[in-house]
A and B are shown apart, each in its own frame.
Chain A
Amino acid sequence: MRDKFVLTHLEELEYESIYVIREVAAQFERPVLLFSGGKDSIVMTYLAVKAFYPAKLPFPLLHIDTGHNFEETITYRDELVAKIGAQLIVGSVQESIDKGRVIEEKGPTASRNLLQTTTLLDTIEKYKFDAAMGGGRRDEEKARAKERFFSHRDEFGQWDPKNQRPELWNIFNGRKNQGEHFRVFPISNWTEMDVWQYIMHENIELPDLYFTHQREVFLRDGQWMAKAPFMMLKDGEFYETKTVRCRTIGDVSCTGLTLSAANSLEDIIQEIAATRVTERGGRADDLRSEAAMEDRKKEGYF
């Protein structure tokens, strides 16, 4: 028993997220959980397992596969899905390209990051998902700071930031018209530090990419990027082997690596506490313009 009825911030965040995830299962007919293999979606999946235990997840996981993944992400994904007995659906960006739904960017800085939006919306439409849960956090980026827990999307999958539904207390309005859907962000109120602390507290297993390792990398615009068959070098760029780890995991073309010897969760937490750059500071996709995230979100991005 506790001597006073006060929760720690991690408990409070956990209870809030579990409440949101259960609310999704209760209010929607065909929800889905967007799983990227990054730490945020891993934590979200873990919270979902907790929310419905001892029953299995009442919704599938959806992975939008750019085809440009770190191998470790796919291995981890398949092991996790087997362990929790969840259903996995994969939406393939390669397939969208082959079908002519999208056109691949050209040149050395090409990324499939933007193309994901079309694949995501096509997959949502194909399976008639009416709510897609994502691991977005409000502390990540300034356009996300104004995102709702339950975020309404019109029949084109678009976000209208100036016309968002008011969201008060913990009463979530998931009512919608035919063809519309919701994006739901159960860990909206978590910070990067909270996520890491929770992973440590709950002893959650992560892909090896998050811990220090030797890798062939090259330097581009001040960012260390990983060597991969589909990555092209520009003039003056060259491969070298460095001791690195990922602070976030997206696909290879937009994930910057951090020079780091952090080998344990304790090391990582100390590193983040001392760091002076945000985790999205290493994401090439956000650096494109001041409103890059807002523009992508309006079109239907994660």
Chain B
Amino acid sequence: MSKNTYDAIVIGSGISGGWAAKELTEKGLKVLMLERGQNVEHVKDYTNMTKNLWDYPHHGRPSLEQLAAEPNMARGKGYPFNEPTMGAWASASTSPYVEKEPFQWFRAYQVGGRSLLWGRQSYRLNPEDFMANGKEGVGVDWPIRYEDVAPWYSYVEKFAGISGSRDGLDVLPDGEFLPAFAFNAVEKDLQARLKKQYKGERHIIMGRTAHITEQRPEQGRVKCQHRDKCWTGCPFGGYFSTQSATLPAALKTGNLTLRPLSIVKELIYDKDTKRVTGVEIVDSETGLTEVFHSKIVFLNASALNSAWLLMNSARDVWDNGLGSSSGELGHNVMDHHYMLGGMAEVPGHLDKYIYGRRPTGFYIPRFANWGNDKRDFLRGFGFQGNASRSGFSRDASGMGIGAGLKDGLSEPGPWSVSTVGFGEILPDHRNKVSLNHDVKDAWGLPVLEMDAKIRDNELKMRKAMKEDIVEMFDSIGLKNATAWETTYHMGKGIHEMGTARMGRDPKTSVLNKHNQVWDAPNVFVTDGACMTSSSCVNPSLTYMALTARAADFAVEELKRGNL
């Protein structure tokens, strides 16, 4: 094989890119994985992994100067933006974007991408999720059904390592789980009370989380140690990331070449064969361009950047880029709307406390518009939460000063329960991203312009989410239940989806049922861009399953000579 020529090029090294590289190399393809950011070596480069708050200059809290340097991320209560993770999120100073509507874009430009920074909640979509668009006339119908993906969910769950309990709920299909994390005594009590109150129609289950809870020496991974410092990288490989799981598997085949610092500018499209023949990159360090060739391309640059790359390719053929013939490329931007939830005091249990830092909480799966529950909006929402005893950050205004204050705050406070809701966003053609050529990034490339917002259905749902959580807490005997809400902008859920949706018809969708770009079938898009609807569950597990499924198909098609 000549220099710069491979069987496959994978663009992006995050959750879905890592899976593409693993699957394609294991099936014998020579693969080049391109990543725009710098390399991150497992363990060695996790420079904050053993730090405690006192090891950070501001004890973890960003200073005003640090906040001012990243106004996009600092807006509102930006939970991901703090001193322990600083630097791991891409800076808008070098990679700007334009907000026609407010949009918070959390990007991780390094090897591993957001697999190093994700929330690790891992849920299957349910059969209804794949049918709701078609039934309700929203967007377009998914070209696949739950049954098409179910074996691939199983396949990726076994390798990634998903802890969880088999709960037997039709709204949240069970998978191939490792033992679930433990509930504390108060959560068990709430779980029982909720089940009784709602006659088995509402549930508190343990969060299904991409952490291994059993040793995996064959993967070089040690089970989760309950440190809860996941966002600084885990030296134990306790949670699934590119570095802990897919990258070592891909490297082991001897078939992978990883090239960091490679910003893909453009897919090179051949009009005659209607195929992409390779990619042109700019080396982010030297600024030099280089071309690589391959038979197939897996586009896993994250939903918005994958759309960006398509829009910036083959513009001599289509004004709006490769895959734009349907008019849907860049449209139908989705996320999960959140930044709202509820909390309540839990009386009693003062003889109980917790040991260890569980890196997940409980989950209340969707119940709205499910079974007999009918609402004035479409779809539903779930809540993540936990019960805990408050610490020194509780309100100390009435505790005086001196020894009494210090002693008081050195003991835990009362129990409370806290939840945050995540709701489904409908695909809407008006929600879009597009190329803006007036603004350039540090490499002279055009940037994305965001024009997306939540609309009537989501706003109605948000109202119901607040009402429901308070009603649930009240009904099971909790005290002073209150709902909270702060500003949600599109993107803040860090679950961007939908910008190159799958569909049955090339006139109304960008990808077919195998994640192939209709206009260039040797290009597969298997990150969040491909999502036809968003469900209300955390999406990464679905990207893993769709990637493994598409990789299997791609290799078969290569063998058949169809690509």
Partners in one complex: no
B residues sitting closer than 8 Å to A (CB atoms) are: none
A residues sitting closer than 8 Å to B (CB atoms) are: none
